[in-house]
Structure 1
Amino acid sequence: MLTIRMNEAAASTLRPLATVDLPPAVPSLSQGLRDKFTRGLTYNEGAWIFTEHVGQWAGAPASASAAIAKMGWQDLSGYEWNVNAFHLEDYAPIQVENLDGQPQISREDQALVLRLGLVVADSVFALIRALPEPVPVRCVISANDTCVVFRFHQIRPGDEWIDGTLRNRNDPDMIVVADRHP
């Protein structure tokens, strides 16, 4: 079962795209993203991470349990949340402006990259479905005017914290959450 939820900021950004006569363009995966998915996933003590991300945290130990202890991550979901994170704008066909030393992404480009995030989520779901024992997975795309971050983690009991994030009307970030249960 697939469930997609988003906060009001994301809905209001994506909504106008659905009312245009022509459907919005769905970005395709860049070569860098295709390479990430070709390399697949690595299993580490109960956690699934992008193989390409193994060892990316220079200060974190290789084992999930040791990394959780050293980095202060709460649990396996927190480990996956951090290790699987990457900036989607690095893989998107958009122009990131530099304003006073800060990256700036236009609202239109944020919407485009949010849609790219859903394509990336679908690719993560395909990797998970191909596992011998597929697990429930949550993909989270958060966008603002400086970056768009993609993350995923296995859904485990107690992971309901995202519901509060979606209801926070004071958060200016656009947040899209896609859950897939086998």
Structure 2
Amino acid sequence: MLNVRLNDLAVEALGPLPVAIGPDRLAPGLREMLAGGVVLTGGVLGFGAERPPGTQSDLTGWEWSFNGFHLEDHLPVEVGRLPDGEPVISEADQVLMLRHGVGFALEIARTAPVPVRCVVSAGSTNGTFRFHRARPGENVLNEDLDGYRFEKMITVDRGPATLGGTPW
């Protein structure tokens, strides 16, 4: 099962049915990441996944960190600066990051060897993409995506809506 959820801010920016960038039109850096594939190694999921260091008890948290990156580092968006040095990204560039992020997430969901959750977010200062293996009872997000009031949030899940009766 594929499940795509958007918070209200993402719906306002993209509309209720987000149009994703197709895999052939993704930014070169994103296509390059996909070319290596998503692999499962020692229970962890990632691009050329490594085993977590030591005795990592929180594999979902490790994947969340290991598989995360800033979308603005891979897309032709303009990152301005406020007088205090804070980055600022236009609404149009946030939408571009979301569309590429959703397209990328759909490819990760399609190719991952296990159920997966991808999270795309964009706000006025940055855009991020992260993914992790879906595990029963483990979730790094607040399930109420509208609780993220300052960023546009989209989740793309592939797998059962619940695992073992426990929401992700």
Normalised-by-shorter TM-score class? 0.7 to 0.9
**For 2:106, which of 99, 102, 122 is the aligned residue?**
122
Count, aligned residues: 157
The SS at the match of 1:122 is helix
Q: Whose Rg is larger?
A: 1
Unaligned runs of 5+ in 1: 55-61, 69-73, 129-133
**For residue 157 of structure 1, what is the aligned residue in structure 2?**
136
Equivalent pair of 1:136/1:179 in contact (CA under 8 Å)? yes
After TM superposition, the score normalised by the length of structure 1 is 0.75
| In 2, Cα distance between equivalents of 1:152 and 1:66 | 21
Write out the 4+ residue segments of structure 1 that deviate beyond 6 Å after TM superposition: none
Unaligned runs of 5+ in 2: 161-168
| In 2, Cα distance between equivalents of 1:104 and 1:119 | 23
**For 1:102, which of 65, 86, 89 is the aligned residue?**
86
Cα distance, 1:24–1:127 mapped onto 2, change above 3 Å: closer
| In 1, Cα distance between equivalents of 2:42 and 2:12 | 39
The structure where strand makes up a greater share of residues is 2
What is the percentage of aligned positions where both structures have the same residue?
A: 39
After TM superposition, the score normalised by the length of structure 2 is 0.80
**For residue 6 of structure 1, what is the aligned residue in structure 2?**
6
Q: Note the C-alpha offset of 1:160.
A: 4.6
State the Cα RMSD in Å: 2.6
| In 2, Cα distance between equivalents of 1:180 and 1:24 | 18
The structure where helix makes up a greater share of residues is 1
1:64-85, CA deviations, whole angstroms, 9 ceiling, x for partnerless residues?
Answer: 15273xxxxx611111111000
